Amino acid sequence: MGYELTDETALVTGGGSGIGRQTAKRFAAEGANVVVADIDTDGGAETVEQIEADGGDATFVEVDVSDPDSVESMVETTVDTYGSLDVAHNNAGIEGDNAPMAEQSLENWNRVIDINLKGVWLCLKHELDVMAQNGGGAIVNTSSIAGLSAAGSTPYSASKHGVIGLTRVAATEYADADVRVNAVCPGVIETPMVEQSREKNPEAIEQFVGMQPLGRMGTPEEIANAVVWLSSAEASFITGNAYPVDGGYMAL
C-alpha cells in the first residue's frame, strides 16, 4: 500500500478474472476510479461488486480487445465516465491450444495473436492518444516469462514476445508526452487460466512450477503489486522495461 492514485482513472482489461481482477482491486484500494473491461460480463460485474463492497468506485465496460471498434469505444467510455485516463493495465489474454509448432493450426495462431498481441496494440493506440493529449500517464502491459524465453506454445510465446516489442516502441515514442510504458512478465500464477491448463496437463504445470526457484506458484496479488508500483509515481524514472515476476524462473 502507499501508491497514491486518488482521483486518477485506471483501466484494466481482463479485469473480470485472475490477475486483472486483483490489479483492478488494488488500483481502487489506492483511490483510483477503475474501469473493469472484459469480454466476460459476469466476471467483470463481479469484480465491480467486490470493489464497491470495499468502498471503491468502479464501472464495468464490455470489450473484445481484438475488435478495433470495441477497444475505441472502451477508451471513449472511460473518458466519458470519469473525465480522464491516467493509468492502464493491458492484461486481457488467452493461452490458446498447446501443441508443438508443426501441429499448430492457423486458426489457433490467428485467435491468440488477435487477442494477445493485436489486442494490446489496439489498447495502446487509443490509450496513448488520450494520455498524450492529457499531459501523460502510465501503462503496464501483461507479457509473460513466455515473452522472454521459450516457455509456452508457438502463438502464445510469439504474442508475449511481441507485447514486449510494443512496450519498448510505445515507451520511446511517447516519452516526450510523459507517458511511461512497461510490461510485467509473470511466471506461473494461480488463476483460472492456469487452473484450466492444469486440468488438461497437470505434469506441464508442475514442471514449470518446479522451475521457479521459490518453489511455488505466484498469486495474482503478487502481480498486482508490481503493476500498481510501475503505474505509480514511485516508478517515475522507469519506462520501456519488461519485469519478470516469476519466483526466479528467468534467473535459471
Q: Which residues are catalytic?
A: 156
Chain contacts with ligand NAD (rule: CB under 6 A) = 13-14, 16-20, 38-40, 43, 63-66, 91-94, 115, 142, 144, 186, 188-189, 191-194
13 or 182: whose CB is closer to ligand NAD? 13
Please give the span between the terminal C-alpha atoms of the chain, in angstroms, as a whole number.
Answer: 30
Shortest distance, position 122 Cβ to ligand NAD, whole Å = 10
45 closest CA partner among 66, 77, 15 = 15
Grid coordinates given for 8 = 486518477
191 or 231: whose CB is closer to ligand NAD? 191
The helix/strand/coil state of 138 is strand
Shortest distance, position 4 Cβ to ligand NAD, whole Å = 26
| Beta-bridge partners for 140 | 89, 182
Grid coordinates given for 223 = 502481480
- Strands of the sheet containing 242-245, edge to edge, are 57-62, 33-38, 9-13, 87-90, 137-142, 179-186, 242-245
d(CA 198, CA 211): 16
d(CA 135, CA 147): 30
79 or 250: whose CB is closer to ligand NAD? 250
74 or 128: whose CB is closer to ligand NAD? 74
Q: Which region holds residue 17: left if phi is over 0, alpha if psi is between -120 and 50, else beta? A: beta
d(CA 188, CA 195): 10
5 or 117: whose CB is closer to ligand NAD? 117
